[in-house]
Amino acid sequence: MVTHSGSKSVTVHDVARVAGVSKSTVSLVLTGSKKVSDTAKLKVEKAIDETGYVYNRDAASMRSRKSNLVAIVINDLTNPYSAQLAVGLEQQIRKMGLFSMLVNSGEDVETQNQLVRNLKEYNVAAFIMCPAPGTTAEWTNQLVDQGFPVVNIMREISGAKVATVLPDNFAGTNMATQHMLARGYRKIAFLGGRETISDYHQRLAGFTEAMVLANVPFSNQLCIQSDTNRNGGRQAMTTALEIEPELEAVVCFSDVVAYGAMEQMKLAGKIPGKDIAIVGFDDLEDSRLMTPALSTVHVDANKIGIAVCHILSNIKDGSRNKILVAVDLVVRESS
């Protein structure tokens, strides 16, 4: 409980006195009201400069019962894609004239619970959440029922009465897999991800549908779950090569998993992009700098930010729409 700034602060009263108007007029200027004369506005602005006044949002938010503080609750900031997404969201939200704060749940549902409990006390205007695994529909709905606008991103919680913005996971892996098939590969594995995360199912489905439609036989054994980090990618690749030594291509759950898989491929004496084709998902900055440059499904963080803001600006409680953000396949050297 650190003490706040020092000195007695400058208030609207002080500004009013200096400007020679009433505090109400100052308030009107501050809130950008149309019904204040230009002369008054000028006087007030001058007085604000002279006095070094700083707006007190706590007081404003308490009186007006409004807030322009949006909380972004991210599942894991150390995941490069999450970080990229967070940055994109932040920018879009600021463009809307709102202010965003970021907190990190670290994929821990209890931490997430704590954070949200605290954030409620800070009177946030809305929650943008990438929910930690284990987040229930009940919990989410409770938050909504308390009157907080909530938008979920990246992960879907079935039964939750919230708007959700997702990349088109199905289309992404579907395109990627079709691309591999078009290249003539038949022995294809799907690496990484876990059943506990909603997007896993969608990405896996995109893969299997492409395989089935192309009449290519494949084994569920070659759909290998793993942690969604570099190490997970290595393990999944190891397993894949044990099961199918003649593997021709892999479709990965994410770029980070692909990085691990490429690493492991090299250790096994296979050259990625030559002996085994590989494609990722996310299109991280690093992916075009890999050797070989990684083909991947590009997900535009800004588009997600825009979609979220769109929902935010015309939210009504109970709106449960789902927005799929289009993705593109970016073909590079690895496939």
Q: Residue numbers of the site for DNA (CB under 7 A)? A: 8-9, 11-13, 21-28, 30-31, 34-37, 39-40, 53, 55-56, 59-60, 62-66
101-120 positions binding a copy of itself, by CB under 8 A: 101-104, 106, 118, 120
Report the partner that residue 98 touches, choosing among DNA, a copy of itself, none (CB closer than 5 to 8 A by kind). Answer: a copy of itself
Specify the long-range contacts of residues 34-37, CB closer than 8 Å, at least 24 apart.
none
Nearer to DNA, 42 or 271 (CB): 42
Residue 106: how many other CB atoms lie within 10 Å = 14
Find the farthest-apart pair of alpha carbons in the chain and give their distance in angstroms, rounded. 84
Binding mask 142-161 for a copy of itself (x = CB under 8 A): ----xxxx------------
Query: What residues from 173 to 232 belong to the interface with a copy of itself (CB under 8 A)?
Result: 229-231
**Residue 285 interacts with a copy of itself (CB under 8 A)?**
yes
> Residue 314 interacts with a copy of itself (CB under 8 A)?
no
User: Applying CB under 8 A, does 267 fall inside the site for a copy of itself?
Assistant: yes
Among 42, 54, 243, 326, binds a copy of itself (CB under 8 A): 54
Question: Which residue, 99 or 139, has its beta carbon nearer to a copy of itself?
Answer: 99
Least separation in angstroms between CB 146 and DNA = 14
131 secondary structure, DSSP code: P
Q: How many residues does the chain have?
A: 335
* Contacting residues for 95 by C-beta, under 8 A, at least 6 apart: 309
* Omega within 30 of 0 (cis) for the link into 80: no
Residue 120 C-beta: closest distance to DNA, Å: 11
Q: In whole angstroms, how close is the CB of 51 to DNA at the nearest point?
A: 11
Query: Under the phi-then-psi rule, with left for phi > 0, alpha for psi from -120 to 50, and beta for the rest, what region is 136?
Result: beta
From the CB of 73, what's the least distance to a copy of itself, in Å? 11
For residue 11, the partner it binds in a copy of itself, DNA, none, with Cβ less than 5 to 8 A by kind, is: DNA
Choose between 147 and 217: whose C-beta lies nearer to a copy of itself: 147
Minimum gap (Å) between residue 207 Cβ and a copy of itself: 25
Query: Residue 249 — φ and ψ, nearest 5°?
Result: -155, 155
36 interface partner picked from DNA, a copy of itself, none, CB below 5 to 8 A per type: DNA
Q: Pick the closer one to a copy of itself by CB: 90 or 199.
A: 90
Report d(CA 129, CA 100) in Å as an integer: 12
Name which position in 24, 33, 37, 78 contacts a copy of itself (CB under 8 A): 78
Is residue 40 involved in binding a copy of itself (CB under 8 A)? no
CA 249 to chain centre: 29
Long-range CB contacts (< 8 A, 24+ apart) of 40-46? 43/19, 44/15, 44/19, 46/19
DSSP 269-306: TPPBTTTBEEEEEE--GGGGGSSSPPEEEE--HHHHHH
d(CA 137, CA 185): 41
H or E stretch covering 334? none
- The helix/strand/coil state of 191 is strand
For a copy of itself, the binding residues (CB under 8 A) are 1-7, 54-59, 61-62, 65-70, 77-78, 80, 83-84, 86-87, 90, 97-104, 106, 118, 120-123, 125-126, 146-149, 229-231, 234, 259-260, 263, 266-267, 285-286, 289-291, 312, 317
